[in-house]
């Protein structure tokens, strides 16, 4: 599944810059903003020991990092397997930064585990046992 992203213009990226301090996130941010502006993405959820599950994610595009984004994810094209959540754009763009990293490093489109735990309302165990 190939996806080609172009960097978003600096004026669109600059308002999100204060939310991401790590250099690797700032480097991927222009591409994540470009992806965000598309309003949808198709990909595959990779689960260890299982075949990838296709999904389509759609969201409403807004202008400000503090605006709310409504994101809907549908698996296997099945309306019965649709989930949605509302979160701040700055948080959602953070997940898209990780999507961009997955595309670059692993060659496929997928959200990070933390995105799915929020989507499914599952609390992940932290490394220190909390």
Residue 130 lies in a domain: no
Q: Is residue 129 in a domain? A: no
Q: Render pLDDT for 50-92 as a digit per residue (tens, 0 to 9).
A: 899 999 999 999 989 999 999 999 999 888 899 999 999 999 9
For residue range 116-129, list pLDDT tens digits in order: 999 998 766 654 44
Residue 55 resides in a domain: yes
Which of 112, 100, 116, 97 shows the shortest CA–CA distance to 16? 97
Residue 124 lies in a domain: no
Separation of alpha carbons 20 and 78, rounded Å: 35
DSSP letter at 7 equals P
pTM of the predicted model as reported, rounded to 2 decimal places: 0.88
For 14, 70, 94, 104, 116, the CA distances from 17, given in Å and listed in that order, are: 5, 22, 11, 21, 24
Q: What domain count does the chain have? A: 1
Distance CA(22)–CA(98), nearest Å, equals: 12
Give residue 55's domain range.
10-119
> Does 51 reside within a domain?
yes
């Amino acid at each position: 599944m190939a996806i080609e992203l172009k960097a978003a213009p600096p004026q669109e990226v600059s308002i999100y810059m204060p939310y991401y301090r790590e250099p690797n996130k700032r480097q991927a941010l222009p591409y994540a903003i470009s992806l965000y502006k598309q309003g949808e993405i198709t990909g595959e959820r990779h689960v260890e020991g299982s075949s990838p599950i296709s999904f389509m994610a759609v969201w409403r595009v807004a202008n400000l990092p503090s605006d709310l984004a409504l994101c809907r994810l549908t698996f296997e094209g099945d309306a019965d397997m649709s989930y949605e959540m509302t979160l701040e754009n700055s948080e959602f763009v953070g997940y898209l930064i990780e999507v961009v990293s997955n595309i670059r490093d692993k060659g496929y489109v997928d959200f990070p585990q933390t995105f799915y735990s929020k989507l499914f309302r599952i609390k992940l165990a932290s490394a220190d046992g909390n």
